[in-house]
Amino acid sequence: MRASLIKIAAVGAFLISSPNAQEAEAPDEASGLAAWAKIYEIFSDERCASCHVADGRPMWSGEHYGGTYKHPMYVGGSPELLLGHPGLMCTTCHMAENAQKLHGPPGAEVWHLPPAEMAWWGKSSTEICEQVKDPTRNGGRTLAELQSHVAEDPLVAWGWAPGPGRKPAPYSAKETADFLVAWSASGAPCPPAD
């Protein structure tokens, strides 16, 4: 199931031909790190990181939730079943659109979890940075595919339209993709570990 999901995500992936990328000259580590800082700000935001978890159990995090908790119910728990469990699929509660009722379930097309190797909840900027460059831990994507994932995946897009009461992720899908382009063009540098 996991493999097919990755395939779904990869289908339609194409290189974004960004003007920034084309105009970029020699790799510039400083501007690359500045771009990464923004990317990290987005990736580590509760809207994005809450689902990028290792134990299959997403987080409820942020002001809307009154703190940081594991998603209630016995959801996930098995990283192999990214769509949920027989009898309690993610889509049992999470519909194709956000519930309009406050604290109702957020929704998007085929709500599911990213694979466990893509987990970065609680990780440092350096760790996440190294991870997203590593195809074995980023869903098998090239950097270009990563950009299109961010720009086009409906679940990723949800982070900026998370429904009533939830604070959206910073910036936008388009800006995030642009940051990724700029970062890639600068040689995708990662900040040193603390």
Partner 1 sequence: MGKILRRTFLIGSAAVGGGVAIGYWQVTKPYPNPLKSRLKDGETALTPYVIVAKDGVTIVAPRSEMGQGVRTTLAALVAEELDVDLNAIKVINGPASKAYYNSMLMEEAAGQAATDVSAGAERMRNATKVIAKIMGSQATGGSTAIPDAFERMRSAGAAARIVLTKAAAKSLGVSASELTTENGMVIAADGTSIAYTELAGEAANIKPPSNPPLREKSKWRYLGKSLDRLDMVEKCTGTAEYAIDVRLPDMAYATVRVNCHLGAGVKSYDASKAKARADVKKVVPVKNGLAVVSTNTWNAFQAVQDLEIEWEPAPYPVNDADIVASHRAAFDDKPDSQKRKDGDVEAVLAEGDIIETEYLVPYLAHATMEPMNAVAHLRDGKLDLWVGTQSPTRCLDVAKDLTGLDEDDIDIHTMYLGGGFGRRGEIDFVAQAIEVAKAMEGTPIKLVWSREEDMCHDMYRPLTLARFRGAIRDGKPAAFDMHVAASAAAIDAFERQGMNLNMADPTITQNAWDNPYKIDNYRVTGYRAKKALPVGFWRSVGASQNAFFQECATDELANAANADPLQFRLDMLDHEPSRKVLEAVAEMSGWGGALPEGRARGIAYYLSFGVPVAEVIEIVDTGAGLKVDKAFVAADVGLALDPRNIEAQLQSGVIYGLTAAIQGAITIEDGVVKQKNFNEYDAMRMYQAPSIDVRILENGPHITGVGEPGLPPAAPALANAIFALSGKRIRELPLNNSIAFI
Partner 2 sequence: MQLTINGKNHEVDVDPETPLLWVLRDEVGLTGTKFGCGIAMCGACTVHVNGQPRRSCSLPVKLVDGDITTIEGIGTPDAMNAVQEAWVENQVAQCGFCQSGQIMTAAALLSMNPEPSDDDIDRAMSGNICRCGTYPRIRAAVHAAAAKMRGA
Find residue 69's DSSP bridge partners.
60
Nearer to partner 1 (CB atom), residue 72 or residue 192 = 72
Instruction: Give me the 103-142 binding string for partner 2, x by CB under 8 A, dash otherwise.
Output: xxx-------------------------------------
167 binds partner 1 (CB under 8 A): no
CA 148/CA 73 separation, integer angstroms = 33
Q: At closest approach, how far in Å is the CB of 97 from partner 2?
A: 7
* Residue 159 burial (10 A CB sphere; 0-12, 13-18, 19+): buried
Of 27, 97, 103, 174, the one binding partner 1 (CB under 8 A) is 103
Return all residues near 156 (Cβ < 8 A) that are at least 6 apart. Answer: 48, 149, 150, 173
Q: Which does 51 bind (CB under 5 to 8 A by kind): partner 2, partner 1, none?
A: none
Q: Would you state the torsion angle of the CA atoms of residues 53, 45, 155, 142, taken in this order, to the nearest 10 degrees?
A: -80
Nearer to partner 2 (CB atom), residue 27 or residue 77 = 77
Q: What would the two tokens of residue 182 be?
A: 């700029």
14 binds partner 1 (CB under 8 A): no
Of 73, 97, 187, 191, the one binding partner 1 (CB under 8 A) is 73
Contact of 121 with 45, CB cutoff 8 Å: no
Q: At closest approach, how far in Å is the CB of 74 from partner 1?
A: 4
70 binds partner 2 (CB under 8 A): no
